Amino acid sequence: MSAPRQALSRPANTGQSVDREPRLLEVSGLTTRFDTPDGLVHAVNGVDFHVDRAEIVGVVGESGCGKSVTIRSILGLVRPPGRVVEGTARFNGVDLLGLRAAELRRLRGAEIGFIAQNPFSALNPVMRIHRQFANILAAHGIRSDAIARDRARDALADVGIAGPDRVLDGYAHQLSGGMAQRVVIAMAMLLNPAFVIADEPTTGLDLTVQRQILDLIRGLVQQHGRSMLLVTHDLGVVAQYCDRVVVMYAGKVIEHGSVRDVLTSPQHPYTQALVRAVPRPGHPLVHLTGRLPDLVDYPAGCPFQARCPHVLEPCGHVFPEPTTSASGRTYWCHLSQEREAVR
Ligand SMILES: Nc1ncnc2c1ncn2[C@@H]1O[C@H](COP(=O)(O)OP(=O)(O)O)[C@@H](O)[C@H]1O
Ligand SMILES: [Mg+2]
């Protein structure tokens, strides 16, 4: 005879006390403002998302949506008049936003590699490349110049630079955009971080070089079981390089989920508009019209209401509750309640 039914209906919380390993990165309620002469800019408004081990998460949205401010907030790189006013960013369980500047500097580089948008602003124009590698290593306790040169040579070889000595003895302005970004990637990977954050790492490079650089970064991430947050405004890049995607609009996350779920059946009207704006054979190209709302006079309700083809009455005054599917895809739209109602 089978076990009595009661045995199956134990209290629902059984097992919840088991300690789970903290997520690699868990961002919660992140809110960043800029206090400008024109007023308070609501750049990032209660952003939640996470990154697990060995996954590549894309952050996508039009220019001005708050992608860079989000990652700069996480990395402690927001400068006045900007300020993180709320939220947490737990990295292996430790809140980065609560760390002292020196501790955060140590973590950046050693545990989190950052690849910025413009390699020439990341490189020092008046210091030989070798010295810049040596300084990174010195800041982390490796002071021998000979060891620094060996480590830098290896790092440059890993990013496909043949003849690394010539690069090491030169200056940033002697490099092409693609080469400069390779050097920045080598610097980001120098201390073998488990997590890489790349902010539009191929902006300004020609298309072939863009692919080469993205292939290179993905290779370095996957080969070492690293994770990556890849910021881009290009859904094609998300489709090709990411496992999951976070869609941002006006400083809020409005949809996130697996790349397959989000790109093949986008649920938020903004994500739908982004997907329609990607050139694909056999599909009409529909350009995204309208503009982001004023981030100083931030709208009540859903920030996409002014551009949305499906506006409902509550959109003008209440930000919607999330709707989550079994596969974990979540979106924030009042249409979901409407869809539920007609079922
Ligand atoms: N230093 C600053 N002062 C005032 N506003 C800023 C500053 N930096 C960013 N912002 C504002 O924050 C918003 C988000 O910017 P950003 O994160 O750079 O967008 P994205 O990276 O998605 O293109 C923008 O409206 C931008 O104008
Ligand atoms: Mg940006």
Can you give the residue ranges of every domain in the chain? 25-111+193-342
Would you state the pLDDT for residue 2?
41
- Decide if domain 25-111+193-342 falls under CATH 3.40.50.300: yes
Query: What is the rounded distance in angstroms from the CA atom of residue 29 to the CA atom of residue 251?
Result: 11
- Name the closest-CA residue to atom 25, ligand 1: 64
Using the mean position of ligand 1's atoms as its centre, give its distance from the Cα of residue 42 in Å. 9
41 lines ligand 1 (CB under 6 A): yes
Q: Which of 60, 68, 254 to mutate to test the pocket of ligand 1 (most atoms within 8 A of CB)?
A: 68
161 lines ligand 1 (CB under 6 A): no
Using the mean position of ligand 1's atoms as its centre, give its distance from the Cα of residue 320 in Å. 24
Two structure tokens written together for 289: 């019209």
CA distances, 301 to each of 55, 60, 284, 309, 312 (Å): 33, 21, 31, 16, 11
Half-sphere exposure of 292 (CA within 13 A, CB side): 19
57 lines ligand 1 (CB under 6 A): no
Q: Which of 34, 47, 79, 117 to mutate to test the pocket of ligand 1 (most atoms within 8 A of CB)?
A: 34
Helix or strand holding residue 197 (H, E): strand 195-199
292 lines ligand 1 (CB under 6 A): no
Query: What is the rounded distance in angstroms from the CA atom of residue 151 to the CA atom of residue 132?
Result: 12
Two structure tokens written together for 227: 């994770």
Using the mean position of ligand 2's atoms as its centre, give its distance from the Cα of residue 92 in Å. 25
Query: What is the rounded distance in angstroms from the CA atom of residue 221 to the CA atom of residue 219?
Result: 5
Name the residue among 49, 187, 44 with its Cα closest to residue 108. 187
Backbone angles phi, psi at 335, to 5 degrees: -60, -30
314 lines ligand 1 (CB under 6 A): no
66 lines ligand 1 (CB under 6 A): yes
Two structure tokens written together for 315: 């959109």
68 lines ligand 1 (CB under 6 A): yes
Low-confidence ranges of the chain (pLDDT < 50): 1-16
Would you state the pLDDT for residue 341?
60
Backbone angles phi, psi at 40, to 5 degrees: -85, 115
- Name the closest-CA residue to atom 6, ligand 1: 34
Using the mean position of ligand 2's atoms as its centre, give its distance from the Cα of residue 241 in Å. 18
**Beta carbons of 180 and 172 less than 8 angstroms apart:** yes
Would you state the pLDDT for residue 9?
38
For the CA of 41, the nearest atom of ligand 1: 5
